[in-house]
Amino acid sequence: MTLFGYRIPMMASLLVWCVMWEIVGRLNLVFLLPPFSEVLAAAVDLVQTPSWQKATVTTLRAFAMGMALSIVIGVPLGILMGRIKIADDLLGMWVNIFSSAPLSAIVPVLMILFGFGEKTIVAAVFLFAIWIIVLDTRAGVRHISPSLIEMARSYGASRPALYTKIILWAALPEILAGIRLGLIRGVKGVVIGQLLVAIVGYGALFETFSRNFRMAEFWALTIILFAFALVIAELIERAEAKVEYYAGARQ
Amino acid sequence: MRATALRNGPSPVPARIDSIVEVRGISKTYGNVEALRGIDLDFPRGKLTSLLGPSGCGKTTLLKIIAGLIKADGGTVAINGKRVSAPGPERAFVFQDFALMPWATVLRNVAFGLELRGTSRAEREEIARRYIAEVGLAGFEDKYPHELSGGMRQRVGLARALSVDADVLLLDEPFSAVDEQNRRKFQEDLIRLRTNRNKTFIFVTHSIEEAVYISDRIVLLSPRPGRVSRIIEPEIDRSGDPERIHRDRHYLDTVDEIWQGLKQYVE
């Protein structure tokens, strides 16, 4: 972004919004919106409370487990669908439905299946994250140049070698893109899951803050969550940049 | 089985040439398009044979059937007298679009055939380095394919095929994605390579000049259905300077003769 010939870094626009927030907050127009400085102060206090630390550990653990499951199952499933037509015909419809369906509606069902606890949250993360990972992996595998597969076969690659030495690597840019999008969806899953269960982790905190109108803490928690989602997306993007050079180089 | 039993008995036709690849009655149909019909061919050992023809004559299909990459609908392919239907270590393939792994260095790409065979890392890298130098890419071992020009990439593809030490090298229009200057240089290198090593080359091309320039033997295929229409053995002396061949009377006559024959297929 440039303004009057000066280059302005991207973060500057964020600063403008923060200042606006501060002004609106100080004007006391909406009681839901305390000044930004107050939210920041609340954030600093919040991270020092044992209840936040405990909730963070619970949330992170459920998130990590759900993501690990969706990657471990999603990537092989996507490869299977990209390679084998019958698998694609059988599963394609469902993956597409689930990837665009309003999944929040299913979370209550998960609660019935898995109870009011961590399992439900893990299942919610899994359910939110896996489909885009499957779809992107499948697209990546479909993208692989047929001659690369022929090359591996002509030099005597066994089936496992074909998958681990060629297919996985050739589809890696798309797989990573899928995982990045899956992580963002997974954050959604963990929040929605916890909100619905309402007695676990951040869900419990959100519930407490909003019920008692502790808006500064409520927003502080929201910002922490947003920042977390952005940071992990950024980390994956870094990894993607490392393999990007060959995403374009493939014939 | 039966075919081998027959081969052990007295041969009905005395072998005139020592052929390393024998193609018998190969046919292939895609949907309702007959790509190849009843192809019988012998490829003499240590020679460079070109499969030449207009597009749609099935030359690449035939090469890939010999490679074991495509299954024929009928007929057999034998290498050194042994029937084959899948890829094997006695054949190595060079691809039109190079088929290099973009995530791997030149060294790993060249060594990949050996890697798949389970050769130890030290050994395969030593062999790969030797062939990288032989195709003129010394110093580029640690580069990635996207850092190389088209001509250099195909040299990597050639080095990979050489490093597995196969008897038969199958080249599918290897120079069609390479610019003109590099192609000339490449063709000269191929002539040199063929004289230095006792390898059999099967070379698919749609360029008449290229076929005549480099081949000991040219198999002309006609399209729809693909069949062998003629076999030509240009008697060109390639012992001297490869540059000279382009001005050789016999070279020019052969090019012209093939062109007269192929003209009818060009609309």
Taking residue B55's Cβ as centre, other Cβ atoms within 10 Å add up to 10
The domain that contains A116 carries what CATH number?
A: 1.10.3720.10
pTM above 0.90, yes or no: no
Examine residue A135 and state whether it is found in any structural domain, yes or no. Answer: yes
Condensed to tens digits (0 to 9), the pLDDT of residues B95-104 reads 999 999 999 9
Identify the closest residue of chain B to A148 by CA–CA distance. B99
Taking residue A202's Cβ as centre, other Cβ atoms within 10 Å add up to 25
Residue range B181-204: mean pLDDT, rounded: 84
The verdict on A65 touching B (C-beta cutoff 8 Å) is no
Residue range A33-40: mean pLDDT, rounded: 85
For residue B99, the chain A residues in CB contact (below 8 A) are: 145, 147-148, 150-151
Q: Quote the pLDDT of residue A99.
A: 85
- CB-nearest partner of A153 from B87, B146, B164: B87
Residue among A68, A52, A176 at smallest CA distance from A125:
A68
Residue A247's pLDDT band, with cuts at 50, 70 and 90, is low
Report for A229-243, B134-148, B175-189: range of highest mean pLDDT: B134-148
Examine residue A19 and state whether it is found in any structural domain, yes or no. Answer: no
> Is B202 strand, coil or helix?
strand
Examine residue A14 and state whether it is found in any structural domain, yes or no. Answer: no
- CB-nearest partner of B116 from A145, A157, A243: A157
Chain A: give the shortest CA distance to residue B217, in Å: 25
Residue with token string 């019920």: A211
Identify the closest residue of chain B to A160 by CA–CA distance. B116
Residue A105's pLDDT band, with cuts at 50, 70 and 90, is confident
Residue among B146, B51, B128 at smallest CA distance from B137:
B128
Res B11 pLDDT > 70 = no
Distance CA B55, CA B37 (A): 16
Which of A154, A169, A243 should one mutate to test binding to chain B, selecting the residue with the greatest count of B CBs within 10 A?
A154
Residue among A140, A147, A142 at smallest CA distance from B154:
A147
Residue range B214-226: mean pLDDT, rounded: 87
Res B10 pLDDT > 50 = no
Do the chains contact at B69 and A246, CB–CB below 8 Å? no
β-strands B74-79, B82-84: how paired? antiparallel
- CB-nearest partner of A156 from B101, B102, B117: B117
Q: B178 or A75, which is more confident?
A: A75
Residue range B8-18: mean pLDDT, rounded: 52
Condensed to tens digits (0 to 9), the pLDDT of residues A217-245 reads 888 888 888 888 888 888 888 888 877 76
Distance CA B82, CA B173 (A): 26
Contact of B199 with B167, CB cutoff 8 Å: yes
Examine residue A160 and state whether it is found in any structural domain, yes or no. Answer: yes
Condensed to tens digits (0 to 9), the pLDDT of residues B43-60 reads 998 889 999 988 778 889
What is each CA distance from B163 to A5, A99, B131, B168, in whole angstroms?
58, 46, 6, 12
**Alpha-carbon A11 to chain mean position:** 22
Which two three-digit tokens encode residue A9?
Answer: 């870094």
Q: Quote the pLDDT of residue B219.
A: 92
Q: Quote the pLDDT of residue A246.
A: 64
Residue B12's pLDDT band, with cuts at 50, 70 and 90, is very low
Q: A196 or A244, which is more confident?
A: A196
Distance CA B20, CA A249 (A): 37
Distance CA A179, CA A132 (A): 8
Q: A7 or B141, which is more confident?
A: B141
Identify the closest residue of chain B to A167 by CA–CA distance. B101
Residue A1's pLDDT band, with cuts at 50, 70 and 90, is low
ipTM score of the complex? 0.85
Distance CA B47, CA A232 (A): 59
Residue range B231-238: mean pLDDT, rounded: 80
Radius of gyration of chain B (CA): 19
Examine residue A37 and state whether it is found in any structural domain, yes or no. Answer: no
Taking residue A176's Cβ as centre, other Cβ atoms within 10 Å add up to 22
The verdict on B93 touching A (C-beta cutoff 8 Å) is yes
Q: What percent of chain A has pLDDT above 70?
A: 92
Distance CA A93, CA A101 (A): 12
Res B225 pLDDT > 70 = yes
Provide the residue range defining the domain that includes A92: 49-249
Do the chains contact at A249 and B92, CB–CB below 8 Å? no
Res A2 pLDDT > 70 = no
**Residues written for chain A:** 251
The amino acid at B202: I
Residue among B216, B222, B261, B257 at smallest CA distance from B239:
B216
Residue range B178-191: mean pLDDT, rounded: 83
Q: Quote the pLDDT of residue B5.
A: 39
- CB-nearest partner of A147 from B99, B117, B164: B99
H helices of B68-202, in order, are 106-117, 121-134, 150-163, 180-196
Identify the closest residue of chain A to B110 by CA–CA distance. A155
Q: Which residues contact A3 (CB under 8 A, 6 or more apart)?
A: none
The verdict on A243 touching B (C-beta cutoff 8 Å) is yes
Taking residue B33's Cβ as centre, other Cβ atoms within 10 Å add up to 12
Which of B100, B153, B165, B178 should one mutate to test binding to chain A, selecting the residue with the greatest count of A CBs within 10 A?
B100
Q: Which residues contact B128 (CB under 8 A, 6 or more apart)?
A: B107, B110, B111, B114, B141, B159, B163
Residue range B233-252: mean pLDDT, rounded: 77
Taking residue A146's Cβ as centre, other Cβ atoms within 10 Å add up to 11
Residue A216's pLDDT band, with cuts at 50, 70 and 90, is confident
Do the chains contact at B146 and A169, CB–CB below 8 Å? no
**What is the signed CA dihedral for B42, B48, B54, B60, rounded to 10 degrees?**
70
Chain A: give the shortest CA distance to residue B171, in Å: 12
Distance CA B15, CA B11 (A): 8
* Half-sphere exposure at residue B157, Cβ-oriented, CA atoms within 13 angstroms: 31
> Is B147 strand, coil or helix?
helix
Q: B131 or B265, which is more confident?
A: B131
Res B153 pLDDT > 60 = yes
Which of B112, B170, B171 should one mutate to test binding to chain A, selecting the residue with the greatest count of A CBs within 10 A?
B112
Task: Give, in words, the CATH class of B17-90+166-265.
Answer: alpha beta
Do the chains contact at A246 and B164, CB–CB below 8 Å? no
Q: Could you give the number of structural domains in chain A?
A: 1
Identify the closest residue of chain B to A150 by CA–CA distance. B69
The verdict on B117 touching A (C-beta cutoff 8 Å) is yes
Chain A: give the shortest CA distance to residue B64, in Å: 9
Distance CA A121, CA B102 (A): 39
Mean pLDDT check: name the lowest of A85-89, A183-187, A231-235, B165-169: A231-235
Residue among B63, B96, B99, B110 at smallest CA distance from B174:
B96
Distance CA B43, CA B63 (A): 12
